[in-house]
């Protein structure tokens, strides 16, 4: 698939000090010689930790279930093939909220050494981990509710200055299907009251807190001052930036995805979620979720779609 606006990929290299990769207890952990690391749970292919310069960039609830009994409350759950509660009259109508990818067990396909890019220092640049999920691996219930033949490959690349997560969707069957996808990333922040989100100005959004009404964001900067659940549609700028205390903290760069959901449950909703702890954890997280959730992506038999993000940490 040729894409004119494709951001340059983070490229792992094959010489010099090597990253270490090991799997234990249903997760894959990769570390760079710099000490940066990423952890991916096979359940949901959920990235549960990404450390850069000694700092954790992702928020995971202290009560998150990591045993496969429910989707992980935190990290980067993969939402596919529907976002939110699916419309009852759509082919995804029998699936749970946010689909089945976040609560299916993925297969670790291995680390990739195909792309190389040597650093000036001669050290290793990064490591790419691939995870797969196909129709055959789904629960009988999910297969019945969404009887399409598909294959997903989710690539998580830990680079020296960022994390890249890309979802590749293939239609392996003889019927077309429609899907939505979203990388439901919970970012860790020091204090939500000091967070500003830039890059969503002049964009139309659906406000799920206000009965799913449509609004236009006029202010170039967004501050979170209460429960927030917004779907920003067809965003022109590729980068959404999270600032802490006015200083750049994280840049989220969308790749072939036009939409972004901003979510913070705030006080009451956080208290109402059994797996959200501590109760005031909403002060230390914000979800900035890149995706294709405005309408549906149609994939014809044999076709492939790819979308994801690069996140750069400024600490």
Least distance in Å: CB of 275 to ligand BG6? 9
Backbone dihedral region of 234: left (phi > 0), alpha (psi from -120 to 50 degrees) or beta?
left
**Angstrom distance (rounded) from CA 45 to CA 39:** 10
Q: Which of 97, 139, 202, 219 binds ligand BG6 (CB under 6 A)?
A: 97
Instruction: Choose, from 289, 300, 306, 314, the residue flagged as catalytic.
Output: 289
Distances in Å between the alpha carbon of 299 and those of 141, 172, 175, 178, 267? 23, 10, 9, 6, 40
DSSP 121: T
Q: Mark residues 168-197: x for contact with ligand BG6 by CB under 6 A, - for none.
A: ----------------x-------------
How far apart (Å, rounded) are the C-alpha atoms in residues 181 and 296?
A: 9
Is residue 36 near ligand BG6 by the rule CB under 6 A? Answer: no
Size of the site for ligand BG6 (CB under 6 A): 10
- Closer Cβ to ligand BG6, 161 or 207, answer by number: 207
Q: Which of 51, 52, 98, 254 binds ligand BG6 (CB under 6 A)?
A: 98
- Whichever of 43 and 263 has its CB closer to ligand BG6, that residue is 263
Nearer to ligand BG6, 128 or 184 (CB): 184
Structure tokens at 4: 């004119």
**x/- letters, 226..255, toward ligand BG6 (CB under 6 A):** ---x--------------------------
- Which positions ≥6 away from 300 have C-beta within 8 Å? 171, 176
- Residue with nearest beta carbon to ligand BG6: 263
* Helix segments in the chain, DSSP class H: 140-145, 266-272
Convert 193-231 into a string of H (helix), E (strand) and C (coil): HHEEEECCCCEEEEEHHHCCEEEEECCCEEECCCCEEEE
Cβ-based nearer residue to ligand BG6, 194 or 208: 208
Token pair, residue 232, equals 């920003």
184 part of the active site: yes
Q: Does 208 contact ligand BG6 by CB under 6 A? A: yes
- 62 prior amide bond cis, ω within 30: no
Map the footprint of ligand BG6 across residues 126-165, applying CB under 6 A: none
Q: Which is nearer to ligand BG6, 184 or 254 (CB)?
A: 184
Nearer of residues 98 and 254 to ligand BG6, judged by Cβ: 98
Q: Are 290 and 259 in contact (CB under 8 A)?
A: yes
- Within 8 A by CB and 6+ apart from 136, the residues are none
Q: Return d(Cα 68, Cα 61) in angstroms, integer.
A: 15
> Please, what is the minimum distance in Å from the beta carbon of residue 44 to ligand BG6?
11
Question: Would you count residue 261 as binding ligand BG6 (CB under 6 A)?
Answer: yes
Per the structure block, which two tokens stand in for 175? 């019927």
Cα 271 to Cα 279: distance, rounded to the nearest angstrom: 5
Using the minimum distance from each CB to ligand BG6, give the nearer residue, 36 or 289: 289
**At its nearest, how many Å lie between ligand BG6 and the CB of residue 90?**
17
CB of 276 to ligand BG6, least distance (A): 9
Set 62, 184, 300, 306: catalytic member: 184
263 binds ligand BG6 (CB under 6 A): yes
Which residues of the chain form contacts with ligand BG6 (CB under 6 A)? 71, 84, 97-98, 184, 208, 229, 261, 263, 289
Q: Report the catalytic residues.
A: 184, 289
């Amino acid at each position: 698939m040729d894409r004119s606006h494709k951001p340059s990929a983070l490229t792992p290299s094959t010489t010099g000090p090597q990253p270490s990769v090991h799997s234990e207890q249903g997760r894959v952990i990769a570390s760079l010689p710099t000490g940066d690391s990423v952890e991916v749970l096979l359940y949901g292919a959920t990235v549960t930790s990404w450390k850069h310069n000694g700092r954790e960039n992702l928020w995971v609830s202290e009560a998150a279930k990591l045993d496969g009994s429910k989707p992980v409350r935190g990290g980067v759950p993969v939402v596919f093939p529907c976002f939110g509660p699916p419309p009852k009259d759509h082919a995804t109508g029998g699936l749970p909220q946010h689909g089945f990818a976040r609560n299916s067990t993925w297969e670790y396909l291995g680390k990739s050494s195909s792309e190389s890019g040597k650093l000036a220092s001669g050290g290793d640049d990064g490591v790419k981990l691939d995870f797969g999920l196909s129709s055959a691996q789904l629960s009988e219930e999910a297969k019945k509710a969404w009887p399409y033949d598909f294959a997903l490959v989710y690539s998580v690349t830990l680079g020296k200055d960022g994390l890249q997560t890309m979802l590749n969707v293939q239609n392996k069957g003889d019927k077309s299907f429609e899907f939505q996808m979203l990388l439901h990333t919970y970012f860790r922040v020091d204090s939500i009251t000091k967070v500003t989100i830039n890059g969503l100005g002049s964009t139309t959004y659906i406000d799920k807190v206000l009965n799913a009404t449509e609004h236009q964001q006029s202010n170039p900067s967004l501050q979170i001052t209460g429960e927030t659940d917004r779907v920003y549609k067809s965003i022109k700028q590729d980068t959404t930036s999270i600032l802490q205390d006015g200083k750049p903290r994280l840049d989220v760069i969308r790749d072939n995805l036009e939409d972004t959901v901003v979510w913070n449950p705030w006080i009451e909703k956080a208290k109402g979620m059994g797996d959200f702890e501590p109760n005031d954890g909403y002060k230390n997280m914000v979800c900035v979720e890149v995706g294709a959730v405005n309408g549906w992506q149609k994939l014809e038999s044999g076709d492939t779609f790819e979308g994801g993000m690069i996140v750069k940490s400024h600490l």
